[in-house]
Amino acid sequence: MTADVPSFPPLKPRDPADIGGYRTVGRLGAGGMGAVYAARSPAGELVAVKLVHGDLAADPDFRARFRREADLVGRVVGPCVPRFLAQDTDADQPWLVTEYVSGPTLRQHVREHGPLSGAPLHAFATGIAEALRAIHAAGIVHRDLKPGNVILAPDGPKVLDFGIARAIDETAITSTGGLFGTPGWVAPELLRGSPPSVAADVFAWGGLVAYAATGRSPFGTGSAETMAVRVLDGEPDLAGVPEALMPLVRAATGQDPNRRPTVEQALAELLCADQATVVGPGPEATELVTRVLREGWEAPPPPTVFTGDPAPRRRPRRRRPWLPAGAAVSALVLVAAGVWVAGDRFAEEPVETGETGEVADAGAVEQGVGEQVAVEIASNGLFMVHADPNGTLDITPGFDGAGSALPEGVDRAESVVASVNVGTVFADVQEQSGVQVFGELEYLAEEGEFTLRAGDLGLLEVGDDWDPLPDDPTADGRPAHTADPDDVLVTVSPDSPDAEFAVDFADAPQSGLLTYLPAANALGGEAEVAGVYTCYMNWHPYPPVDMTDEEYVPCPAERPE
């Protein structure tokens, strides 16, 4: 850690002041399982504390999952993983504590300062391989190695987030059998149904080194299905990877897991050492890695904090997505998971307008004539926002069933603007009342910005008096719980594409319909918008529940016995 005292996003009014003797000083993030806080230990050390949401702590499956995560984190020891410090998985709200790691994520650093090169790149590849060696030596597969889960700390890269890691010899704790991971970083054999293995982590390591060297994801960007097709059928884009690293990276990102190098083989080559030196958790390999980091690593600058007046609003430009030939995308629908998001759109092209088919320039389209914005449900709790300046999305403004469907022929990778990943918990954990809708917003266009307001989200009650699957849930007189429509939760743009949000509905019941209808000016102009609704249940392990026609689950007014 540096001598400077970092600043953190402030605590919210209902955030705890103390967790197990650790004094909270800021909020680092939140997700479906809980929140992560910056805190001070009794000795004054800065630490990271992960706290399970209060309502989920009562769920035996969630408690078992968290207990398992704490056990996994406690097994791993190495210079490139945060130190495990403490845990209490039997507390009313279970928690665990690790070393606080300062620095930007790899993704932040590449976005703001470009790729790594030379000795720092070699040190990065070595450090991540060392982290995987320590993880695998503890009998664990990470399963979600990606740029957002690597911190570039002053003393070297650190691999974070064991939330979906699993013991190599263990049966996963899941009731759905879904595929965990992030598109473009999930190995092809996992997409085909094989169980997680150390070879899958090696695949992600190769992609991570390529990303660090080039600033590009080796399988590009796009929707979950498109990314999966590229991994299965396409060759990774490795142009720009240095010659010294190319053989290792190419082999690591190969299709056949049996032909990929092991972590020990990769580390031995990077260290110019005999493979026997790096097998197991012995001190010799750790000392060699520490020397490489000490001699080659350069502490990165801290991530930029965007302040001041926002840039002038510009309409997004169209870009043709890279679409591979080969495997059918429809066969891959089942791989979608809550953490999977769709990719880029928008590059500037002339567009046809009017009955004559005349070509209009971008400036004419930017007047907002006919602009439409539509929301789709991509998977549990994952909304995809699409936009078209010519009004070709064929939407019905407002609500039109459980989920808006884009017309045939619309390229989703071409029209997508943003993803909104949501969940629900108690608004007041102590009183176990109200509902908080929280989540993450990611901007996926190259220009412009997108704003999420509190009033875009709403909670509607359910019961025998109302249609369980209405065309327009706001039109049948059921009680509605709303927030201030002028309260801006977050605004995202290419310069700052990721943001977390939360909005409280103090009087809402613990089950109902969650609606999302973007404001007409969410993209800066005026547009016709179509919204969606889904079921939320605060006792469900992965709220809200998917409400597509094929997987519709009636939303109960009370928790089933």
Q: What is the pLDDT of residues 143-184, one digit of tens each?
A: 888 888 899 999 999 998 764 444 444 433 333 334 456 778
* Cross-strand pairs, 531: 399
What integer is the mean pLDDT of 334-347? Answer: 28
Taking the whole predicted model, whether its pTM rises above 0.75 is answered as no
Q: Give the mean model confidence (pLDDT) for residues 37-56.
A: 87
DSSP secondary structure letters along 303-367: PPPP-SSPPPP-PPPP------SSS-GGGGGGG--TT-----------EEETTTTEEE-HHHHTT
Element spanning 268, H or E = helix 263-271
Please tell me the total number of residues recorded for the chain in this structure: 561
Residue-wise pLDDT for 365-406, tens only, equals 333 347 899 998 876 678 889 998 887 888 889 998 776 667
- Active-site residue set: 144
Q: What tokens appear for 558 in the block?
A: 């009370």
Chain centre distance of CA 274: 38
pLDDT tens digits, residue range 267-323?
999 998 877 777 765 678 888 999 999 999 998 887 643 333 333 333 333 332 322
- Half-sphere exposure of residue 314: CA atoms within 13 angstroms, side-chain side: 14
- What pLDDT was estimated at residue 181? 66
Alpha carbon 515 to chain centroid distance? Answer: 21
pLDDT band at 537 (very low <50, low <70, confident <90, very high): confident
pLDDT at 509: 94
Cβ contacts of 535 within 8 Å, gap of 6 or more: 462, 511, 512, 513, 514, 544, 545, 547, 553, 554, 555
Q: What is the DSSP string of 233-262?
A: HSPP--TT--TTTHHHHHHHT-S-GGGSPP
pLDDT band of 222, cuts 50, 70, 90: low
Q: Identify whether the C-beta of residue 503 lies closer than 8 Å to the C-beta of residue 484.
A: no
* CATH 1.10.510.10 in the chain, residue ranges: 106-296
CATH 3.30.200.20 intervals, the chain: 18-99
pLDDT at 324 over 60: no
The tokens describing 264, both together, are 């020990």
- Residue 8 sits at the vertex; the CA angle it makes with 493 and 182, to the nearest 5 degrees, is 50
Q: Give the integer Cα–Cα distance in Å for 197 and 136.
A: 10
b/e burial code for range 352-368 (CB count within 10 A of at least 16 → b)? ebeeeeeebeeeebbee
Residue 452 pLDDT level (bands cut at 50, 70, 90)? very high
From residue 301, how far is each of 143, 249, 295 by CA, in Å?
28, 26, 18
Contact by Cβ (8 Å): 468, 545? no
Q: Of 419, 413, 412, 421, nearest to 442 (Cα)?
A: 419
Q: Give the DSSP H or E segment for 263.
A: helix 263-271
| pLDDT confidence of residue 104 | 87
3 state DSSP class of 13: coil
Alpha helices by DSSP H, 160-256: 188-191, 198-214, 224-233, 246-252
3-class SS of residue 447: coil
Q: Are 417 and 387 in contact (CB under 8 A)?
A: yes
Closest among 470, 460, 471, 448 to 521, alpha carbons compared: 448
Alpha-carbon span 211 to 462, nearest angstrom: 47
Burial 199-228 (b: 16+ CB within 10 A, else e): bbbbbbbbbbbbbbbbebbbbbbbbbbbbb
Q: How many CB atoms lie within 10 A of CB 454?
A: 20
**Crossing angle (nearest 10°) for helices 118-137 and 198-214:** 160
Beta bridge partners of 95: 51, 88
Residue matched to tokens 């003393």: 155
CB 547 within 8 Å of CB 377: yes
Q: Which of 160, 150, 218 is nearest to 187 (CA)?
A: 218
pLDDT, tens only, 53-77: 776 677 787 788 778 778 877 888 8
Structure tokens at 283: 């001190």
CATH of 18-99 among 3.40.50.620, 3.30.200.20, 3.40.30.10, 3.30.465.10: 3.30.200.20
Helices (H), 7-144: 60-75, 106-113, 118-137
CATH 1.10.510.10 assigned to domain 106-296? The reply is: yes
